[in-house]
């Protein structure tokens, strides 16, 4: 049978990469390249590259990172089937809120407030945490994909009793 996903090396223990970028828009493609290189061969690569693009853009647009500061990008492979990116900024007045954009309220354009919604819709989980009062915030997104696991489900240890279902999965009485 052909594998449905590219085979990437198993992750024997959590792996993590981090890099600091100047808080300028021209650094967003650099951050994308960093994540893309680290996640080469990973099924979630494209999704997480898109996410890091949104989160870095937010760090620059909505926090002090974009006013002569920096932001940090981390990539983590905690276990097989899971990859995460995180962007730590220098702190801002607002909270990361999907669908909310100050720009929209200010200029009346039906734009903005889509980046985080896109991140939320394309990943398994996302979130943020303050790294300390006024010190900044880490916004992260996690993607998952199916991995093969040892086949314990269909193996019955010798001598064990096998319970017989009286009802089938459709709620019938299971009579054969
Ligand atoms: N790192 C952050 N720190 C503080 N506020 C944030 C951060 N990221 C996002 N926000 C807030 O959440 C709102 C929604 O972010 P989102 O990325 O969805 O939209 P946007 O950046 O306003 O517009 P766009 O659709 O171009 O991404 C932002 O307008 C901002 O108020
Ligand atoms: Mg945004």
Atom of ligand 1 nearest to the CA of 63: 3
Answer yes or no: is 69 within a domain.
Answer: yes
Answer yes or no: is 149 within a domain.
Answer: no
State which residues form the domain around 88: 15-144
Pocket test for ligand 1, best of 58, 87, 107 (most atoms within 8 A of CB): 58
Q: Cα separation of 131 and 57, whole Å?
A: 19
Take residue 54 and report the two structure tokens written for it.
Answer: 């949104």
**Predicted TM-score of the model (pTM):** 0.81
Answer yes or no: is 164 within a domain.
Answer: no
- Report CA(17)–ligand 1 centroid distance (Å): 25
What is the per-residue DSSP string for 68-127?
T-EEEEEEEEEETTEEEEEEE-S--SS---TT--HHHHHH--S--S-HHHHHHHHSSEEE
Q: Which distant-in-sequence residues (6+ apart) come within 8 Å of 53 by Cβ?
A: 28, 31, 32
Answer yes or no: is 170 within a domain.
Answer: no
Render each residue's pLDDT in the chain as its tens digit; 176 residues: 444 555 555 666 778 999 999 999 999 999 999 999 999 999 999 999 999 999 999 999 999 999 999 999 999 999 999 999 999 999 999 999 999 775 555 555 556 789 999 999 999 999 999 998 888 999 999 999 998 877 776 667 777 766 665 665 565 554 44
29: helix, coil or strand?
helix
Q: Cα separation of 93 and 147, whole Å?
A: 40
Q: Give the CATH number of the domain where residue 132 resides.
A: 3.30.565.10
| 55 Cα distance to chain centroid | 11
Within 6 Å (CB) of ligand 1, which residues are found? Answer: 54, 58-59, 61-63, 89, 92, 94-98, 100-103, 112-117, 137, 139
| 58 Cα distance to chain centroid | 16
Answer yes or no: is 53 within a domain.
Answer: yes
Closest ligand to 105 CA? 1
Nearest-CA residue for atom 17 of ligand 1? 115
- Structural domain tally of the chain? 1
């Amino acid at each position: 049978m052909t594998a449905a996903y590219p085979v990437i090396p198993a992750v024997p223990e959590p792996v993590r990469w981090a890099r600091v970028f100047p808080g300028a828009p021209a650094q967003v493609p650099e951050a994308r390249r960093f994540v893309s290189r680290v996640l080469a061969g990973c099924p979630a690569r494209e999704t997480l590259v898109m996410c890091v693009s949104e989160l870095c853009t937010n760090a620059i647009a909505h926090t002090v990172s974009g006013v002569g500061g920096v932001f940090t990008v981390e990539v983590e492979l905690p276990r097989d089937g899971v990859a995460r990116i995180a962007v730590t900024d220098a702190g801002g007045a607002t909270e990361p809120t999907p669908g909310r954009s100050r720009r929209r309220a200010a200029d009346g354009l039906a734009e903005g407030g889509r980046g985080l919604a896109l991140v939320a819709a394309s990943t398994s989980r996302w979130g943020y945490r303050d790294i300390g009062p006024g010190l900044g915030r880490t916004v992260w997104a996690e993607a998952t994909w199916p991995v093969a696991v040892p086949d314990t489900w269909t193996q019955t240890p010798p001598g064990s009793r096998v319970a017989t279902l009286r009802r089938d999965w459709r709620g019938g009485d299971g009579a054969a």
